[in-house]
């Protein structure tokens, strides 16, 4: 439960940060980022694994680069289902990379995995 809450906070910061860093992504408040993070987390748990399985051959052919398109689609779908605005799919592609990098960095800092 604690890790789920930490992931939600990290996703909130990542979405808000992407909104501040990238001109085509409009996240007006922390509340909007929190709502977007809830939707983003649900889509990552439910829709993303299905898309990864379906697109496995394309991902293999592109040496994994198609996963960036999947991340952009998940971010674009998050914007569609929440009040976050994204100007274009290209902006979603750059935003997906930014959200991924911010998530990775904050995950290293704040999530301790027991190994």
Per-residue pLDDT of the chain (115 residues; tens, 9 = 90+): 888 899 999 999 999 999 999 999 999 999 999 999 999 999 999 999 999 999 999 999 999 999 999 999 999 999 999 989 999 999 999 999 999 999 999 999 988 765 4
Dump strand ranges (E) for the chain.
25-26, 85-86
Q: Taking the model in full, what pTM does it have?
A: 0.88
As a whole number of Å, the end-to-end CA separation of the chain is: 18
| Domain extents in the chain | 2-110
Report d(CA 95, CA 107) in Å as an integer: 18
Query: C-alpha 75: how far from its chain's center?
Result: 5
């Amino acid at each position: 439960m604690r890790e789920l809450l930490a992931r939600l906070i990290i996703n909130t910061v990542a979405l808000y940060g992407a909104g501040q860093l990238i001109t085509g992504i409009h996240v007006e408040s922390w509340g909007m980022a929190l709502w977007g993070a809830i939707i983003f987390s649900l889509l990552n748990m439910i829709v993303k694994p299905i898309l990864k399985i379906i697109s496995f051959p394309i991902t293999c052919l592109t040496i994994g680069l198609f996963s960036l398109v999947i991340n952009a689609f998940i971010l674009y779908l998050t914007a569609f289902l929440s009040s976050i605005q994204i100007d274009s799919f290209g902006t979603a592609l750059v935003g997906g990379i930014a959200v991924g990098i911010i998530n990775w960095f904050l995950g290293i800092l704040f999530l301790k995995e027991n190994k």
